[in-house]
Structure 1
Amino acid sequence: MAKVESELQQLSHRRIIVGVPLDNSFLQMIASVNETGKVITAKKEWLTIPTAAAGTRKAREIPGLFKPKGKNILAVKNGDDLTVMFYLKKQVVIPKRPFIRQATIRNRHKWAKMAREGVLGIIRGNETSDSVSKRIARVMANDIRLTMRVLYDPANAPATVERKGFNNPLIDSGKLIGSITWTFRGSE
């Protein structure tokens, strides 16, 4: 009985933290922008929105890049034609894509049921606070990743779809979805 009480005490003081690693400020910013939406305004004159032709390069990395008169693009000459490398915008609106919030709303009852079943497992002597916490944390992280994979609305802007080659707003390089992890606070 003392072992059961100890395990339940540990479980009651443990907090599962699931999401983007707290020590990665760039991915924290990307997740935050997607959760809440954001209007991004150019600090100088223009934001440069890359096309598929620009790929992952920055404007300064492309030789011969220029702004044609009267056009809000940056391009390079391609014989007699121009290849558009960047669209120039004064601001862009990133719509809300609250993947963590949606995953929580969709799955909170499942996660609570897992916790109740885990408590029963501890009482029966089949589980530990550690095994229950790890199982719930893994499921939570997987549910967030699944939500990211299936969230298509609001869609990417047409230029983003062209550059990425597909329309999945929360998937690009794979860094954000690959970063979803879990940790514990309290009763280690």
Structure 2
Amino acid sequence: MKSINRIPELVAEMKELSQLDLVVGVPVDDEFLQMIARVNENGLTLRAKHNYLTIPTAAANGRKAKDIPGLFRPKGKMVLAVADKSSHNGIKVMFVLKESVRIPPRPFIRFTYNHYKDDWQSLMRRQVGLLMDGKATARSVMNALGRQISNDIKRTIKQMQSPRNAPLTVARKGFDDPLIDTGKLIGSITWKIERKS
């Protein structure tokens, strides 16, 4: 039986693997989602630049204060409203005025890393074993790891329920899921393979 020398192929794939980096999470070229991820990881206190922050209620329906005609501040109230004859008090609150708002940390990336890193190391060992058996390549190893890490981050986003959303946020969103609003954040979680510089 003829023997096959796979050592040069194995050496080449191991060298390739050592030259690759895996980037997992929010796309680095999306500044808005990067900001959302950082705020959730670390928390943030927002302070009004002028007088007050305008925190939208569900009635604002995604509009900004400048887009709502007839908006006014009722005397003695910390809200912006519009006249509404159907309401018991004659107004419909569109925004709540606050000097500052604290967004608590919801460290979904750190949590995922701390809870799944041992699983990722085990997966990497299994994948390198497949590579050595000729059943995987450097890129397929990295793709398997990226897929798993990405899925684990998404699982954390779906499952993280604490700290809860503020009541005003729940009313605006229509549900209480701290890391999910439009689905854009969770939908953006992916991975890419880069060559080390």
Where in structure 2 are there 5+ consecutive unaligned residues? 1-6
- Indicate if the aligned counterparts of 1:137 and 1:182 stay in contact, CA closer than 8 A: yes
How far did 1:187 drift? 6.1
Identity %: 48
Deviations 1:58-93 (A, max 9, x none): 111111111111110000110161111110000000
| 3-state secondary structure, aligned to 1:53 | helix
Equivalent positions of 1:1-188 (< 5 A) are 1-79=7-85, 81-186=90-195
- Indicate if the aligned counterparts of 1:40 and 1:91 stay in contact, CA closer than 8 A: yes
Kindly provide the amino acid, as one letter, of the partner of residue 44 in structure 1.
H
Kindly provide the amino acid, as one letter, of the partner of residue 157 in structure 2.
M
Instruction: Let me know the Cα RMSD of the aligned residues.
Output: 1.3
Relative to the length of structure 1, the TM-score reads 0.97
How far did 1:170 drift? 0.7
Relative to the length of structure 2, the TM-score reads 0.92
Where in structure 1 are there 5+ consecutive unaligned residues? none
Cα distance in 2 for residues equivalent to 1:25 and 1:187:
23
| Larger gyration radius, structure 1 or structure 2 | 2
Aligned residues: 188
How far did 1:14 drift? 1.3
- Indicate if the aligned counterparts of 1:22 and 1:28 stay in contact, CA closer than 8 A: yes
